[in-house]
Amino acid sequence: MVDIEKIIESELTAIQRNRPTVVFCESNDERIIEAVCYLTRYIKPIFLEKEETIRKIISEKLPNLDKNRVDFAISEAAFIDINEKENLIEEFTKSLLQYEKELNCSYQKAKELVKEPSRFGIYLVKSGYADMVVGGAGFEPVKFLRPALKVLKDKEIQGEAGVFALPDDFNAGLFPENIVVFGDVGVNEVMTPKILAEVAIETCKVARDIIPESILPEINGAIVSYSNKGSDEGPSPQLVRESTKLLPKILEEKIKGDEKYKTIRIEGEVKVSAAISRKSAERYFHKEKKIEDLAGKFNVIIAPNLEVGNFLYHLYSSQYPEAKKISALFGCGFKVVDLAIDCNPSDIILSLKANLLRHNIAGNWTETPKDLFFKRFKVLAINPGSTSTKIGYYEGDNEKWVEEIKHSAEELKPFAGKPIVEQASFRKEVILKTLSEKGVKIEELDAISARGGLLDPIPSGTYEVNEKMLDHLKIAKNGEHASNLGAIISDQMLKGLDIKSFIVDPVVVDEVAERVKITGLKEVRRKAISHALNQIASAKRYADENETFYNYLNLIVCHMGGGISVGAHKKGRYIDVNNALDGEGPFSPERSGSLPVADLIKLCFSGKYTKQELLLLNKGRGGMIDHLNTSDLREIEKRIDEGDKYAEAVYDAMAYQVSKEIASRVPAFDGEKIDQIIITGGMARSKKLVEKIKGYIFAMGCGITVYPGENEMLALTKGALRVLSGKEKAKIY
């Protein structure tokens, strides 16, 4: 059976940038609750029940659900007691009287109607508080589907399609890849040839959006005839014939909007028995052409009436309960998911993912219009570098823009030879100028989140900027570095404003045990200085994507950039990492890495190098630069492809040393299972390097996830958001 969920998930993960807000009308249905626990990677769920009610249902009816998954889903959800939302009830009552005038009901009756979970959910979407409403698992169409389609209608033509991925033991060859889509016209009040043609095309579009061309190169639809007295009798065949004539022109217009719909083919007046039965097709003749030529061709069956469409859907649903099923509506802007009454959690998950995929493909959604339930805090992220300052503006975790402000040599000339703190005012003014040009007002921010500098060693977390921190950074207590400017600049920008300023996971994060710091020389102790921001952000990203908490996982994270750090993250603590700042660990594009001690001592006293030259070889001119006179991995890979054996040997040595460093973290977990290895940083963009490392560490038996790039701006923002949303408390330096 085609793994349609895996296909949809892969497509969705590749294109989805933000999570829409989805409201579940039947929130006390255990099937819904179980499904939501597997969907928070893709959505922000709203339950129309109190949190304690949901927890009680889980305890009584879903005791086998993983506790970590449940806790994570609940932490990501909003809970609404409808009776406590008087303002919304009043707002929705007025809306119902406007959009459902045919009900002809009093204000009081309308108020009672919108207090029903089904309509409350519908009007949450209509009013912009949510993006999608899910129902139908327990509500009759008159309670959910009909009002939802009426209120949330965005096209004149509406319809519903059922997508089936059938098991392997199904009648092979009848439907290509054992995938079939059933559509009908039942939700339209009247039927005309044009409406039937539009429904046929829209049903095929649903199939094309959900199923990639690699699985079904063509979408072949059949508008079926259901006359029992021959093709020349009854209104239905005539309707189908007239509809078929209209198909080419309508389809041509759809293709203008998206070229992929060129793969759609539709034929009309195909006898329903011939479309769904090879045996029937072999006996049936139509216009002197054997229908057996068409048997095994159709994957979309369009029924021109409600009864046949419902019959086919329920027939296949009951006959093949193990089939993967998707319910998909069109004509309502992807705002409604209508579930079958006999659906299971798998059906709900699959239908939601398919609808989210179609929603993203349409490209007309960026964020929930109103952030009442999931507030989009406004955060400015600041990341100072030696010759540039990177800033980013975020609303929630939605990136609005990121700008790297370059500082020319001429601009930095007045600060030559001076402490880095002297640049704070200059950089602040440049940032303020950029914000003004972008139309961002400082006073409208909820927080500034800045890159942390060389502070005293501290545990991981988000820290509120305070005077002690500023004092240490201003005097460069632990060394000069451009990152020292982050907190200083943000503090200057927010003078006199009641706005929070944070730093997140600076390079000095230190949660390592004493056993890590002790060396064979009493006077030499190991330090934990690393890419903590991206290390911890990558670990938390993996936890989020797997719908659990960082605190529940054992992870090894390998950050590969100008320096390489490999960290052990044990259930929320960063317990071991090499000192990447000073070049400890594997050699990198710019750093020497750990060296044979005796040879290094001899080199130090050889008189060949000064102290400064050796320090530069250790960090700045070591590694790939020393061997190959370049730190550009792309150039090195090009040399290898052109036959440079020495470049290949050095490249392989770096990959090998990185792999050894990853494997060396195993003892940090005291025998506990390692859940995942994560590879991140700029060099993680190299498929060649990643594949080499994967090959070397294969025997560890851990899954490997790759997050290319450093993702520092989003990491800074998310650290602030966790505090602003109440998920974490800000720490004090």
Q: Residue 288 — very low, low, confident or very high, per pLDDT cuts 50/70/90?
A: very low
Ramachandran category for residue 240: left, alpha or beta (phi over 0 → left; psi -120 to 50 → alpha)? alpha
Predicted local confidence at residue 702, as pLDDT = 92
Query: What is the fold of 532-709?
Result: Nucleotidyltransferase; domain 5 (3.30.420)
What's the CATH number of domain 155-328, 3.60.20.10, 3.30.70.920, 3.30.460.10, 3.40.50.10750?
A: 3.40.50.10750
Give tens-digit pLDDT for 630-681.
999 999 999 999 999 999 999 999 999 999 999 999 999 999 999 999 999 9
Q: Residue 295 — very low, low, confident or very high, per pLDDT cuts 50/70/90?
A: low
Q: Taking residues 146-164, what's their average pLDDT? A: 91
Q: Where are the alpha helices (DSSP H) in 439-557?
A: 467-474, 485-493, 514-517, 532-545
Q: How far apart are CA 22 and CA 303, in angstroms?
A: 30
Mean pLDDT of the chain: 91
Q: Is the pLDDT of residue 279 over 70?
A: no
Give tens-digit pLDDT for 609-632.
999 999 999 988 999 999 999 999
Which neighbouring-strand residues pair with 564?
A: 560
Q: Residue 228 — very low, low, confident or very high, per pLDDT cuts 50/70/90?
A: very low
Q: Is the pLDDT of residue 490 over 50?
A: yes
Q: Where are the alpha helices (DSSP H) in 345-420?
A: 345-362, 409-412
Give tens-digit pLDDT for 563-589.
999 999 999 999 999 998 888 999 999
| 1-154+332-374 belongs to CATH 3.40.50.10950 | yes
What's the CATH number of domain 375-515, 3.40.47.10, 3.40.50.2000, 1.20.1300.10, 3.30.420.40?
A: 3.30.420.40
Please report, for the chain, the start and end positions of each structural domain, with discontinuous segments joined by +: 1-154+332-374, 155-328, 375-515, 532-709
Q: Residue 235 — very low, low, confident or very high, per pLDDT cuts 50/70/90?
A: very low
Q: Which residues of 602-636 are buried (b: 16+ CB within 10 A; e: fewer)?
A: eeeeeeeeeeeebebbbbebbbbbebbeebebeeb
Q: Do 155-328 and 532-709 come out as alike in CATH topology?
A: no
Q: How far apart are CA 245 and CA 209, in angstroms?
A: 25
Sequence-separated contacts (24+) of 75-79 with Cβ below 8 Å: 75/727, 76/40, 76/44, 76/45, 77/36, 77/40, 77/44, 77/45, 77/46, 77/47, 77/51, 78/44, 78/45, 78/46, 78/47, 78/373, 78/374, 79/46, 79/47, 79/49, 79/50, 79/51, 79/54
Are 167 and 58 spatial neighbours (Cβ–Cβ below 8 Å)? no
